[in-house]
């Protein structure tokens, strides 16, 4: 373990190291220095769990070697047919870009070097293809920015800037709210029905791109979009599930914290922490308050978050699921450890009830909704946040239990496979890149909390650690 420990320290040192970026863009509003906007909240000196680290590293290598053997150069592995899948006409190298910083944190230098060569030699955005802005932003742009901040290589930033330029046309709408899809070659946009998550989850990546390049256009576009979305909230302070970007009218008034809205809230808080922009702090506070007032739902002493009508607050569903499980992490990061812990206990109940969490279920009747499990990270991510913020081993034990359930249910000869149904264990021929970017990274950080300084970074929603630029 000694060589690995040295590499963790190297990676952590790189992450916390000097930054060669120019100053903040001129368009920046009141800004609080990084050192002041965030107390050092994490518990220092948490012990490494060497045996668990070995398990997680072995799982990562099993997944990565299957990708190398069967899907090299493509977006994702098909673990059952031992093949590959590209999302679009040309590969975006989704899995290696997403997995690169996990490799650095794990000290897998040879694997990281091979992945980096593959990406820098082959990744090009000069492609006539229409991509989903949200996914390409969180996985590719986020991965490139994190890679740049971790290993200091300017070529990552060149790629990031090129991608940012090609995605900027997405904001060309009468409201400034982004379209769902953009063509990387022509800038043609598509998709005028969008949702808060896909609108609000560009802020960290575009904002940081502005700070690292000195070009304010990326930051200005996302800040205008998020401010406009916030202005469209109901009198209860809630946002709905779908909005028309042409005029700002809500197309679906259901408010919740699951997929389609989830990371909108996450990025309000994290944009404040990364950029020190008080406007994001105010939007986060308003959103958090509205969630606690209208969505928080106590059932038999347990805390859940319901689905409600954004206009009336009327409860329309008691559905919760794998994606909602991001919320304990965000509540904890926002300082509400008590609610975070209570909600994480509810998340654990979801896993215990079904063995592995389903995509959704009804927390009153305990009936499952969508039965799949596509290797999602959120529950382990929340266990990690609670562990580093409290130092309580109970959360690490919970995270280990979740990780072992995932491995037992999804491991196949060539990687790990999605579950079609958590009750039958039937598998699907897919291994999402976020399994390497997020699920295994958060498991690793639970095992080796010293791998990075939690207080020095903000994780994007794909678990790419981003560092404030002073």
Residue of 177, 461, 464, 469 that binds ligand DMJ (CB under 6 A): 461
Residue of 171, 395, 434, 442 that binds ligand DMJ (CB under 6 A): 434
Which span sits near ligand DMJ by CB under 6 A: 157-165, 203-211, 273-281, 372-380? 372-380
Work out whether 376 is an interface residue with ligand DMJ (CB under 6 A). Answer: yes
The nearest distance, CB 135 to ligand DMJ, in angstroms, is 7
Instruction: Tell me whether residue 205 is one of the annotated catalytic residues.
Output: no
Pairing state of beta strands 427-428 and 418-419?
antiparallel
Work out whether 267 is an interface residue with ligand DMJ (CB under 6 A). Answer: no
Which span sits near ligand DMJ by CB under 6 A: 70-78, 104-112, 248-256, 374-382? 374-382
Tokens of 125: 């955005």
45 φ, ψ to 5°?
A: 70, 20
Rounded distance between C-alpha atoms, residue 384 and residue 390, angstroms: 10
Instruction: Tell me whether residue 266 is one of the annotated catalytic residues.
Output: no
The nearest distance, CB 360 to ligand DMJ, in angstroms, is 13
Contact 430, 78 (CB under 8 A): yes
Instruction: Report which secondary-structure segment, H or E, holds 31.
Output: none
Q: Please state, in angstroms and as integers, the Cα–Cα distance from residue 132 to each residue in 46, 93, 180, 318, 375, following that order.
A: 39, 15, 6, 30, 21
According to CB under 6 A, which residues from 285 to 324 bind ligand DMJ? Answer: 323
Rounded distance between C-alpha atoms, residue 315 and residue 238, angstroms: 13
Helical ranges in 91-250 per DSSP H: 94-106, 109-122, 133-135, 142-151, 154-167, 196-200, 203-213, 217-231
Mapping DSSP to helix (H, G, I), strand (E, B) and coil, where does residue 401 land?
helix
292 φ, ψ to 5°?
A: -65, -35
Work out the angle between the directed axes of helices 109-122 and 94-106 (0-180°, nearest 10): 150
- Catalytic residue chosen out of the listed positions 68, 75, 135, 432: 135
The nearest distance, CB 113 to ligand DMJ, in angstroms, is 26
Residue closer to ligand DMJ by CB (options 288, 418) is 418
The nearest distance, CB 108 to ligand DMJ, in angstroms, is 22
Mapping DSSP to helix (H, G, I), strand (E, B) and coil, where does residue 85 land?
strand
Work out whether 344 is an interface residue with ligand DMJ (CB under 6 A). Answer: no
Which span sits near ligand DMJ by CB under 6 A: 50-58, 78-86, 371-379, 394-402? 371-379
Instruction: Report which secondary-structure segment, H or E, holds 339.
Output: helix 337-354
The nearest distance, CB 470 to ligand DMJ, in angstroms, is 27
Rounded distance between C-alpha atoms, residue 394 and residue 399, angstroms: 9
Instruction: Tell me whether residue 359 is one of the annotated catalytic residues.
Output: yes
Instruction: Tell me whether residue 378 is one of the annotated catalytic residues.
Output: yes
The nearest distance, CB 269 to ligand DMJ, in angstroms, is 14
Work out whether 462 is an interface residue with ligand DMJ (CB under 6 A). Answer: yes
Work out whether 377 is an interface residue with ligand DMJ (CB under 6 A). Answer: yes
Work out whether 465 is an interface residue with ligand DMJ (CB under 6 A). Answer: no
Applying CB under 6 A, the residues found at the interface with ligand DMJ are 138, 263, 323, 376-378, 434, 438, 461-462
Active site residues: 135, 262, 359, 378
């Amino acid at each position: 373990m000694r060589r690995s420990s040295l590499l963790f320290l190297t990676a952590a040192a790189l992450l916390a190291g000097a930054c060669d970026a120019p100053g903040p863009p001129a368009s920046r509003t009141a800004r609080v220095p990084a050192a002041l906007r965030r107390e050092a909240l994490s518990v220092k000196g948490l012990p490494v769990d060497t045996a668990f680290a070995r398990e997680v590293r072995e799982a990562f290598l099993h997944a990565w070697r299957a990708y190398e053997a069967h899907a090299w150069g493509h977006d994702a592995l098909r673990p059952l047919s031992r093949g590959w899948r590209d999302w679009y006409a040309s590969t975006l190298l989704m899995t290696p870009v997403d997995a690169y910083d996990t490799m650095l944190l794990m000290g897998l230098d040879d694997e990281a070097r091979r992945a980096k060569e593959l990406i820098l030699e082959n990744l090009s955005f000069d492609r006539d293809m229409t991509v989903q802005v949200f996914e390409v932003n969180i996985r590719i742009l986020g991965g490139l920015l994190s890679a740049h901040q971790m290993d200091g290589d300017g070529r990552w930033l060149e790629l990031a800037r090129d991608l940012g330029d090609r995605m900027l046309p997405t904001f060309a709408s009468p409201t400034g709210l982004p379209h769902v899809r953009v063509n990387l070659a022509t800038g043609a946009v598509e998709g005028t029905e969008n949702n808060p998550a896909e609108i609000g989850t560009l802020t960290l990546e575009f904002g940081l791109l502005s700070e690292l390049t000195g070009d304010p256009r990326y930051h200005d576009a996302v800040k205008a979009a998020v401010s406009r979305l916030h202005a469209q909230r109901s009198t209860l302070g809630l946002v709905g599930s779908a909005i028309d970007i042409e005029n700002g009218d809500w197309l679906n008034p259901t408010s919740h914290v699951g997929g389609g809205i989830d990371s909108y809230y996450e990025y309000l808080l994290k944009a404040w922490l990364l950029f020190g922009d008080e406007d994001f702090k105010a939007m986060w506070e308003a959103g958090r308050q509205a969630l606690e007032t209208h969505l928080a739902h106590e059932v038999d002493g347990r805390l859940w978050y319901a689905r409600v009508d954004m206009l009336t607050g009327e409860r329309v569903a008691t559905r919760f699921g794998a994606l909602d499980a991001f919320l304990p992490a965000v509540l904890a990061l926002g300082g509400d450890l008590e609610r975070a812990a209570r909600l994480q206990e509810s998340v654990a109940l979801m896993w215990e009830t079904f063995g592995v969490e389903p995509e959704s279920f009804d927390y009153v009747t305990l009936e499952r909704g969508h039965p799949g499990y596509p290797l999602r990270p959120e529950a382990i991510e929340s266990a990690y946040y609670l562990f580093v913020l409290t130092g309580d081993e109970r959360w690490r034990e919970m995270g280990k239990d979740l990780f072992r359930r995932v491995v037992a249910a999804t491991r196949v000869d060539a990687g790990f496979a999605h579950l079609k149904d958590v009750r039958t264990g039937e598998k699907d021929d897919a291994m999402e890149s976020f399994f390497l970017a997020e699920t295994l990274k958060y498991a690793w950080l639970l095992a080796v909390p010293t791998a990075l300084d939690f207080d020095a970074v903000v994780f994007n929603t794909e678990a790419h650690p981003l560092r404030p630029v002073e």
